[in-house]
Amino acid sequence: MEQKFDAIVVGAGLAGLACAYKLANSGLNVLVMERGKFAGAKNTWGGAFYGPVLYDLISPLWKEMPIERYLVRHVLSFVSEGQCFSVSSESEPSNSPPHNGFSLLRSRFDKWFAQKVSQAGAIIACGIEASDLIWDGPDIRGVKSGNETFHADVVVACDGVHSILARKAGLRGELKPIEVKLGVKEIISLPSETIEQRFNLSGDEGISMQFVGSCTKGLPGGAFIYTNKQSLSVGIVVQLNALVENKSSANDLLEDFKQSWPVKKLIRGGELKEYSAHLIPVSGINMMPHLCTNGLLVAGDAAALVVGTGLILEGGNFAAASGIAAAQTVLKCKEKGDFSVKSLSYYQKLLEDSFVLQDLKTFKKAPHFLENQRIYNEYPDLLCSLMQKVLTNDGQPRTTTWRLAREQMKGKVSLPQVAKDIVQAMSSI
């Protein structure tokens, strides 16, 4: 006998699990389809979650949630060959809720979260890929997986940046290389005592480090390090079209980054435990697909809900928030018995009223600004060389910092270019 569900959620990432958790706790009959062998098997990210979204959703379970470390320090470093200039922000630890962020390992966290979703009453089906949609005229009534069919009142597509279902529904086209960045990451194990000593941490304190400049050989992107309990998440994120045009390898960039002097001493003695790669939708609202059609909602990476400003790259909190908004929409439509695009458009309103679409609109110019090559070449070199000049005493009379800056700029970047970039930065990030 064919089983029909109230909702089918495709993808057991943060968006899918958050959606399914809320729906199941509200009494709906929910199926979660995940193509990986387990929830978290296919999910990759840098490693930090920001904001109170998860706390608000699962606060009764907060103390048992497998958080790695609470981020108390954030460091942004501009790196040139053999030089590094960093700015740091530090705050008192706060974990109720942790507005400053916390690090997670997705394979561990998603498996735990999926278990809680299952305990709430949803069915988690792993190793099953949703390959097509079931149509009833203009309406979507479920999904197909090979020869199997799964019927539901509504489908929530949380199937990642490639989103087969969003394409099948005609809500988006093919990805363009300029719209995405390639992230490659390694998990490097180290004893917790070593991590705390090297990064000046204690207890469950953690740090996030972002690097811009020579770590990507001047290509648009950056590098990162996040501290976990007994490991470091170390990775590179680079614009895909730049990699293709320059015939560069993200793996080579990561290896060079690990061997650079600011990083080599931090990971010394570590053992590689995990490697992963992931495409990240970074063009924000400029690449966002239509969010719904009859019988279908799109959330998380599938909806390009990621904000990158050069200072931050956030996606996990946007994914979870969109999953919750999708669940709220499904519940409202269930009461009405109407899953038409008109009723499901309530989802768009919820996102517009929240930080999700408001932030995407605020930083809609950021992707274009971050294509500026000077951000990754001239400016890191200038900052590093300028600070070295300012802090060096060679026994000669000193000159003003402004004059030193002008000397360092000669032949590299003009004042009009700097002024133009500052104006663009002010309106973008």
Q: What is the DSSP string of 411-428?
A: TT--HHHHHHHHHHHHHH
Residues above pLDDT 70, as percent of the chain: 98
Averaged pLDDT score across all residues of the chain = 92
Query: Looking at the structure, do residues 14 and 130 belong to the same domain, yes or no?
Result: yes
Listed in sequence order, the residues at least 6 apart from 423 whose beta carbon sits closer than 8 Å to its beta carbon are: none
The answer to whether residue 133 is domain-embedded is yes
Q: Of the residues 231, 253, 281, which one is the last residue of a structural domain?
A: 281
Query: Looking at the structure, do residues 117 and 32 belong to the same domain, yes or no?
Result: yes
Give the residue from 144, 124, 252, 233 showing the smallest Cα distance to 189.
233
Residues above pLDDT 90, as percent of the chain: 71
Query: Looking at the structure, do residues 300 and 340 belong to the same domain, yes or no?
Result: yes
Q: Which band of pLDDT confidence, cut at 50, 70 and 90, is reported for residue 60?
A: confident
CATH number at residue 253: 3.30.9.10
Specify the number of domains making up the chain. Answer: 3
Lowest-confidence range among 84-98, 110-124, 355-369?
Answer: 84-98
The pLDDT, as a whole number, for residue 152 is 97
pTM value is 0.93
Burial of 130 (0-12, 13-18, 19+ CB in 10 A): buried
pLDDT in tens, 220-272: 999 999 999 999 999 999 999 999 999 999 999 999 999 998 899 999 999 99
Q: What is the C-alpha to C-alpha distance for residues 159 and 326, in angstroms, rounded to an integer?
A: 14
Query: Looking at the structure, do residues 162 and 301 belong to the same domain, yes or no?
Result: yes
Q: Strands 69-80 and 205-213, how do they pair?
A: parallel
Ranges assigned E (strand) in 266-401: 271-281, 292-293, 296-298, 307-308, 313-314
More confident residue, 62 or 228: 228
pLDDT in tens, 104-157: 999 899 999 999 999 999 999 999 999 999 999 999 999 999 889 999 999 999
The pLDDT, as a whole number, for residue 1 is 45
Burial of 323 (0-12, 13-18, 19+ CB in 10 A): buried
Query: Looking at the structure, do residues 61 and 154 belong to the same domain, yes or no?
Result: yes
The pLDDT, as a whole number, for residue 228 is 97
The answer to whether residue 84 is domain-embedded is no
The pLDDT, as a whole number, for residue 129 is 93
More confident residue, 171 or 412: 171
φ, ψ at 93 (rounded to 5°): -55, 135
The pLDDT, as a whole number, for residue 348 is 97
More confident residue, 426 or 120: 120
Could you tell me the residue range of the domain that residue 328 belongs to? 4-68+104-175+287-353
Q: Which band of pLDDT confidence, cut at 50, 70 and 90, is reported for residue 409?
A: confident
Q: Please compute Rg for the chain using Cα positions.
A: 23
CATH number at residue 130: 3.50.50.60
| Separation of CA 204 from chain center | 22
